[in-house]
Structure 1
Amino acid sequence: MVVLDGTIVAIALPAAQAELGIDDSQRQWVVTAYAITFSALLLLGGRIADYWGRKRTFMVGMVGFGAASAWGGLAQSGTELIAARGLQGVFAALLAPSALAMLSVLFPRGRDRNVAFAVFGIIAGTGAAFGFLLGGALTQYADWRWCLLVNLFFVVAGLIGGKLLLVESKAEGDTRYDLVGTVLVALALASLVYGFALAEHGWLEVDTLGFLAAGAVLMVAFLWWQTRTSHPLLPLRVVRDRTRGGAFLLQSFVGVVMVGAMLFLTFHFQIVLGMSPLAAGFGNVAMTVVIMATAPISTKLFTTFGPRMVLTVGPLLAAAGLLFLSGITAEGSYWSEVLPGLVVMGLGFSLIFVPLQNLALSGVDPHDAGVASAFANASMHVGGSVAVAVFTALYTSSVADALAEGTGQMPAFANAYGDVFVVAAGVMVLGALTSYVLFRGPRATVVPVGGTEAVDAAH
């Protein structure tokens, strides 16, 4: 449901923008408001899951997410929609880490763990594809509001399934909350994302620099506090491990593309190419279909060659696909200018998604399962929320320059989207370098035990 919500709202956004009178500078906040509250509160949500109970936290998150979705679906203004999206992020910060922590605790090692995380990745991929298709269908044949209201059906299913099937688990020992750390990291992330959002008005403006500087200072203060307190919100042992740290960093780069850059491809489909919402949904699905179709092959490559090779080649393929997309034009065809790039990106992200969550949680103590799961989610969504802000600033500047030179409006939009894809490709190249440097050592130290049985099960 959380994955679906990201893609389904992207499809609905142009229609919501038109009906509620949201301008381009406000538009990003429908995405960013969700990402900023989600990211800022994820670590606390992970600790609540660990200490209060993962099943209980999951159930409360479901109820709250449903209520926020209903509010957003009935919103009468852009401000109201943005506020509802922010509230969705609050409860998603309870949902996401509790779900992933339960998975990590139930399957701590071996064949079952590899299979469980492979299934989790496939479900996430299905959620993204389903979101594009369902969002397009609902926007075109019903109303964009149903892209939020449809969550209520999933909430009911989640509550019934959770009540009947889930087993409670919680951490033992020290269960005190780090409230100081919570405030510091929430303010740090909020300041950084807001500072990047202000950058569309100028990188050297006082308010832009002020919020970015405040965010950096608060983040340093948070890390310092984590070394001083006896019950840290984020025990630094969780991120100091080279394999997990590399996985967290790569997660943030993936968020830049999947949350940030792909939003602009949706705009290109509907605004420049004039696709209907349903056609735009089908257009986005191509990459996800490739990811799902090649997942068994990616699993085999991972268990055979280890993460260094797979997670170096994967980002490079994704970068190649993004560079292909950077050549889009206002007069171009989806089949020649978009689809080949999405297929190559799908091959790359298949290599990334199969091992990434598993590596991010490898070797984590059960006491820290929730917070490690939260940090894995936070890494991706912080990357995505910062990317939306930065890419919006880049897009706005590029369009203004093109229009000043006499370029037509639609060609100016297409050129600006291309600029976004070029920068996103550079980020994925950086991800490949990160993997090559950090995922080193004997294969047994970085690949969770499971062997070829996991490959057979994935097939």
Structure 2
Amino acid sequence: MTEQGTVADGRPPSGNIENQAYTPETRHSGIVLAIIAVTYLMISIDATVVNIALPKIQADLGFSRTSLAWVINAYTVVFGGLLLFGGRIGDILGKRRMLTLGTLIFTTASLVGGLAQSPGLLIAARAVQGAGAALAAPSTMSLIATNFEEGAPRAKALSVYSATAGAGGSIGLILGGVLTDWASWRWVLFINVPIGLAIAVLAPCFIREPVHQRSKVDIAGTITATAGMVALVYAFIRVPEHGWGDGLTIGSYVLAGVLLAAFLVIETRVEPPILPLRLFASRNRSGAYLNVLLLTASMMGLFFFLAQYVQDVMGYSPAKSGFAFLPMTLGMFATVTQVPTLLKKFGAKRLMVAGALLMTGAFVWLIQLTETSAYWSGVFGPLLLFGVGMGLSFMPMNMTVLAGVAPKDAGAASGGVQTMMQLGGALGLAVLVTVFGTAGKNVADDPRGGASPGEWTRHVFTEGMQSAFVAGTAFLAFALLVALVVIKSPAKPKQSD
């Protein structure tokens, strides 16, 4: 998927560019670009790199099927919850400084996670990784804007950055499989250590620090938003094992509602808010935000369940499982290269509709999977279809979010997209894991006839996965409805207040 902060012509949103009076250094432009691009690549890879390793992690550390989702969600929910905070801190304390500090936190947490001997320590390390990523990620594109001259140098840098960032999720699946198969699942975390240390050493030497801005930080908004999302995700993931009537589950839902309501109240009163609610006054922008959340929710579910299916049911090795996702990667990249031309011809709304339709079709296809399905007839086609749909969807959604945004809100608008992606992935996966766990438990309670324990385990998993894909299809069908009904075409630029 394309990096969320760029618009269709490759220029960054104006709100992300510092008002500088200097000409950026270009003497070491290749090194500067490499540092920035590799930083964001490392961060984006970690959203998916552990997916292929999940069966090995489960067997080694003793996770249950449903609690295993926290290996993914601990990273994404903290990352998403702190993204806007990380961007604001970067404005105040220095973007290069936050990139370096965030990378060091991320690297240290990666080392601790790789050494973890218990589920709790691994989950805690993944959460700290997310916090480090939230400090580093918002500064990456802004540092391109302030280290490369406007025009061809900046456009070239942004094109490399966007391609690298977009490749992260897909590369993570392949890299995770190769490392797990050839070394150990722990190396999907250890590999960050030398890369992170190199970034932390080189960034202060080559990247120019933009002028700091004096501004307040919306601490209350950050705390209520992040804690509210963690409580909501926790409540969903408790349901399969403890039921809807469990006291702690109910309490978590209530706490989540209170915290998220408090966040909305705070954002109407604090100045400057971490997420200006005026951004949602635009019908098109609100629809695009909602679709980013819905599409990412389904995508993370696909990664989570299909990565386990091809290993635990189809018997693929981790490396082969990683490469099994190549059709999605190739379909996405082949489509992304054509999207600028297609946008001029058909407009953002039609591409969003087409993308959501293809992704919905892919999930309908995946619902048909059984424990005896073959890769080429049951997995290859849906992955290719889903990849093409992703390629069609994300750049038009970015454009719709950024269309008509006032310069003072451009940074928050683009940061909001990244936040919706991370939170959508975390919350969507929590919901799908809840559906999976409930459906699997109902199947497991039935008599298994003459099936062997291994056959029955594969059957239970597949039945639960099918139910999860039904729920994912509902997400995507809703996204299709939003693209059809909510998004207006052509979008008329309108400045936010």
TM beyond 0.5: yes
CA distance, structure 1, for counterparts of residue 356 and residue 121 of structure 2: 38
Pair 1:358–1:158, CA change in 2 (3 A): farther
Aligned match for 2:228, one of 188, 208, 222:
188
Determine whether 1:176 maps to 2:216: yes
Alpha-carbon RMSD: 2.6
CA contact (8 A) 1:133 1:278 kept: yes
- Once the 2 structures are TM-superposed, how far is the Cα of residue 112 of structure 1 from its aligned partner? 8.9
Pair 1:119–1:326, CA change in 2 (3 A): farther
- Percentage identity across paired residues of the two chains: 35
CA distance, structure 1, for counterparts of residue 363 and residue 102 of structure 2: 35
Q: Which residue of 1 aligns with 2:258?
A: 217
CA distance, structure 2, for counterparts of residue 255 and residue 114 of structure 1: 27
CA distance, structure 2, for counterparts of residue 63 and residue 416 of structure 1: 39
Query: Which one-letter code corresponds to 1:55 in the other structure?
Result: R
Cα deviations across residues 134-191 of structure 1 (Å, max 9, x unaligned)? 211111111111110111233245346634554433564x501122222222222122
Q: Which residue of 1 aligns with 2:477?
A: 429
Q: Which residue of 2 aligns with 1:124?
A: 165
Aligned match for 1:353, one of 389, 394, 399:
394
CA contact (8 A) 2:365 2:382 kept: yes
Superposition map of 1:116-265 within 5 A? 119-159=160-200, 162-163=203-204, 165-169=206-210, 172=213, 175-200=215-240, 201-265=242-306
- Once the 2 structures are TM-superposed, how far is the Cα of residue 196 of structure 1 from its aligned partner? 1.5
CA distance, structure 1, for counterparts of residue 120 and residue 370 of structure 2: 33
CA distance, structure 1, for counterparts of residue 115 and residue 141 of structure 2: 30
Pair 1:231–1:126, CA change in 2 (3 A): closer
CA distance, structure 2, for counterparts of residue 51 and residue 205 of structure 1: 44
CA distance, structure 2, for counterparts of residue 365 and residue 158 of structure 1: 33
CA distance, structure 2, for counterparts of residue 300 and residue 271 of structure 1: 41
Pair 1:327–1:63, CA change in 2 (3 A): same
Cα deviations across residues 115-134 of structure 1 (Å, max 9, x unaligned)? 77665443233222222222
Please say which of residues 370-379 and 58-67 is displaced more in the overlay.
370-379
Pair 1:292–1:441, CA change in 2 (3 A): closer
Secondary structure of the residue that 2:418 maps to in structure 1?
helix
Query: Which one-letter code corresponds to 1:376 in the other structure?
Result: V
Cα deviations across residues 184-211 of structure 1 (Å, max 9, x unaligned)? 2222212211122222222343322322
Q: Which residue of 2 aligns with 1:450?
A: none
- Once the 2 structures are TM-superposed, how far is the Cα of residue 439 of structure 1 from its aligned partner? 2.8
CA contact (8 A) 1:199 1:390 kept: no
Superposition map of 1:36-185 within 5 A? 36-102=77-143, 119-159=160-200, 162-163=203-204, 165-169=206-210, 172=213, 175-185=215-225
- Once the 2 structures are TM-superposed, how far is the Cα of residue 108 of structure 1 from its aligned partner? 12
Secondary structure of the residue that 1:231 maps to in structure 2?
coil
Aligned match for 2:446, one of 389, 393, 405:
405
Determine whether 1:416 maps to 2:464: yes
CA distance, structure 2, for counterparts of residue 105 and residue 297 of structure 1: 29
Determine whether 1:391 maps to 2:432: yes
Higher fraction of helix: 1
Please say which of residues 11-20 and 357-366 is displaced more in the overlay.
357-366
Cα deviations across residues 316-371 of structure 1 (Å, max 9, x unaligned)? 11010111011111111111111011111111111012333344344545554544
TM-score (norm 2): 0.83
Cα deviations across residues 262-314 of structure 1 (Å, max 9, x unaligned)? 21010101111111000100112220111012212222112322211111110
CA contact (8 A) 2:52 2:318 kept: yes
